[in-house]
Amino acid sequence: MSEAAAASITPTRDMLRDAGLMAVVVFGLSFSLVGFKIEDVPGGLAILTRFDGVFFATALAFLGRIGVIMLREQRALPIAITALPTAVIILLLQLFAGDLDPERTYPFRSTVVNWSLFSVTLAMSLRAIWLTWHHGGAARSRDAREKAMDLVGAKVQDAARFIGPALLGFALILPFLPFADRRLLDIGILVLTYIMLGWGLNIVVGLAGLLDLGYVAFYAVGAYSYALLAQYFDLGFFLALPLAGILAAFAGILLGFPVLRLRGDYLAIVTLGFGEIIRIILLNWYTFTGGPDGISGIPRPTFFGLELSKRASDGGDTFHTFFGLTYSPIDRIIFLFYLILAMAMLTNLFTLRIRKLPIGRAWEALREDEIACRSLGMNPRNTKLTAFSIGAMFGGFGGSFFATRQGFISPESFTFIESAVILAIVVLGGMGSQLGVVFAAILLIGLPEFFRELQQYRMLAFGLAMVMIMVWRPSGLLAHREPTLRLHPPPGKGSVK
Amino acid sequence: MNAVMHDTGTQALLTVEHLTMQFGGLIAINDVSFEANPREITAIIGPNGAGKTTLFNCLTGFYKPTVGRLALHHPQRGRFLLERMEGYDIPAHAGVARTFQNIRLFPEMSVLENLILAQHNKLMRASGFTFAGLLGLPMYRDAEKKAIDLARYWLDHINLTERADWNAGNLPYGDQRRLEIARAMCTEPVLLCLDEPAAGLNPKESSELNQLLTYIRDEHGIGLLLIEHDMSVVMGISDHIVVLDYGRMISSGTPEFIRNDPAVISAYLGEEESDDDTDIPSGGV
């Protein structure tokens, strides 16, 4: 019956060929990657084979491809009939087949793979059922989907007034929720650190449009500033924090001067080089920075002078004795969580505020058209340098926090991949979008931490997620810009286009 | 000539003397001298490649002239030598604003934001270089309100008040042209340089443009410098015309004079054998 409805239907032969090709590719890839595994056995290494995995992967690719083609052409009923039972079988096997062989999970060896497969098949069957239900509803073209996604972006931006505070409220009560164990809080701290760095870099990349591939340099300057200030001058965290920020801002100006005349690719290359220069200096200036040994024993932050440790150092007092509480090691984690939450919120409020000031608007104008800026009497040099230095300052704050949280830093923590991840957060979130950075950071930092089980495939999944977002949303998850000031109140919810 | 620079009264707004701009072996502008007066529209015409846009780029600091002097007499702030100033200081201090042949708005920012950005320096000072603005002091709020009032004044004159919150890039072409002129006017200039403002406009938009330009000249008393190919605009509103060809000034005068000048006619319609063709060293092209 669906045959009659859809105008263009791929002949079965073509469909099988397409799916077969897909299966061959998957077979080729999975044969060596999944098929063999080297394992440590008593008396040496052994090569284990996992051909069942190869078989299932190939078969799933074949069937999945057919399913996708048929779904695209509205032939939903067969998919609904097959995908739903598949999802149910996977679910049942994952949940109850453990009794068969306690050594492994079914149908696949990894719970993550099982759950992912389950959600994909479930999504497919739901889509198929929906299509069968609304029979004849035309499939949306790519263009229409883009428009719809833009509308979603605008709606989310509208809803940001609620989503933002809701997320903040959730973050505020998170440490006291029953499921908040140490691991979750650690991930939360990590995510918040990256959110803060993302917001800082957003000033440079999102607002001013200066592609900075060496942001980690300022992170490093901040971290080492605090570590060295603590080591040489015995400064506490809160005293060293502003100094570290100023030093990082100074580094930002230092980077800014030589790149004033550069744009786009050229700017990106120089900033990348700058990031490496800082790292290599830290690595080689052994007498000052400790080189590859790093700096250890960096003091922990105190709560208004109260230490969050079991025993106080000489002349100090601890948090739990002062308030008459029993000592719990998680107190320190909770304190760090709130500290980075406060620092991140400060970054956010600052950015939101400065965007509505002349300097913030000038940054955005610089991103749009530098020549027009000059013709209006703006000083592009000062505008760029302030963007670099303020962005760098927040990088420096983030670095100081990193140093005090880890207690140990070495140049290894400040490699190019860090810059790339922070930039990915900004770009995926949608340039200039504050809320987008939050979602992207949760997606890129939080989820991989949860998926540690995937081991080496984690980075593969990371890359895949990035590619998928870029295919679906080339301008980022939430790319919708609100004017910084309006002449008329916003017209309803839809706004202009 | 320099001796009378401090004379009052019929002082020229802009005095261009012996301007020469050379790019390597190419002489784009060759010893051009003319004056532009306040309350007058001075048109610069000439065939493609005559050096008109190069002249604008020299005036607004995008190029440094090889030889020559560009003196601007600002009625309040005195005399500026434009050839010695940084590009972005010329609009900020000397009060020279310009538009571009290929429109250069900030397309992803709203119409209102475009006009507010033109008042950047004023607002920057009012925001205490951001510090007072961050604290939300009333000083900055007032300045911002005034800036919006000025923007609204120009929005009313270009009929864009309704669409003030649109992205500038979403406006129709003709509106973008007018917005760019309004944005230049928001810098409160004494000399407005327009690079082909009528390019791509239909006859109705073109006549609206004429009205806008004469309004600016008559009501704001500033000088306008106009590069234009559309002769209906040039002949209709110019008070004075300067004709360039191959970087040289071949004629200068009132529209009637230019219309009948044989040198101009030959430059536009091709050479008529003979006359002063030979003394041009054909440096360009």
pLDDT in tens, B132-181: 777 777 788 888 888 899 999 999 988 888 888 888 888 888 889 999 99
**Spatial contact of A442 and A425, defined as CB atoms under 8 Å apart:** no
**pLDDT band at B104; cut points 50, 70, 90:** very high
CB contact under 8 A, B152 and A487: yes
| Burial tier of B228 (Cβ tally within 10 Å: 0-12, 13-18, 19+) | buried
Model confidence at B91: pLDDT above 80: yes
Our measurement of the distance from residue A26's CA atom to the centroid of its chain's CA atoms, rounded to an integer in Å, reads 28
Per-domain boundaries in chain A: 12-139, 149-472
The structure tokens listed for A410 are 């070495």
A347 CA: distance to closest CA in chain B (Å): 13
pLDDT in tens, B176-232: 999 999 999 998 899 999 998 888 888 888 888 888 998 998 888 889 999 988 888
Asked if A377 reaches chain B (Cβ–Cβ under 8 Å), the answer is: yes
Q: Which residues of A touch B187 (CB under 8 A)?
A: 376-377
Asked if A487 reaches chain B (Cβ–Cβ under 8 Å), the answer is: yes
What is the Cα–Cα distance from A261 to A457, expressed in whole angstroms?
41
Q: Which residues of A touch B190 (CB under 8 A)?
A: none
What is the Cα–Cα distance from A377 to A427, expressed in whole angstroms?
30
- pLDDT beneath 70: ranges in chain A: 1-8, 98-106, 109, 134-147, 149-150, 153, 156-157, 313-316, 450-459, 461-462, 474, 479, 490-497
Position B3 scores a pLDDT of 39
CB contact under 8 A, B105 and A369: yes
What is the Cα–Cα distance from A337 to B275, expressed in whole angstroms?
86
**Spatial contact of A257 and A385, defined as CB atoms under 8 Å apart:** yes
B42: left (phi over 0), alpha (psi -120 to 50) or beta: beta
Among B109, B120, B148, whose Cβ lies nearest the Cβ of A376?
B120
| ipTM for this model | 0.84
Position A235 scores a pLDDT of 85
What is the Cα–Cα distance from A98 to A106, expressed in whole angstroms?
7
In DSSP terms, which residues pair with B45 in a beta bridge?
A: B243
Position B99 scores a pLDDT of 92
Position B281 scores a pLDDT of 46
Asked if A354 reaches chain B (Cβ–Cβ under 8 Å), the answer is: yes
What is the Cα–Cα distance from B240 to B226, expressed in whole angstroms?
10
Task: Give the end-to-end CA distance of chain B in Å, rounded to a whole number.
Answer: 33
pLDDT in tens, B28-85: 888 888 888 888 899 998 888 888 888 888 888 888 888 888 888 888 888 888 888 8
What is the Cα–Cα distance from A364 to B129, expressed in whole angstroms?
17
Our measurement of the distance from residue A13's CA atom to the centroid of its chain's CA atoms, rounded to an integer in Å, reads 42
Q: Which residue of A has its CA nearest to B91?
A: A377
The structure tokens listed for A363 are 């940054």
H or E segment and range at residue A146: helix A142-173
What is the Cα–Cα distance from B99 to A79, expressed in whole angstroms?
60
DSSP conformation letters of A435-457: HHHHHHHIIIIIHHHHGGGGTTH
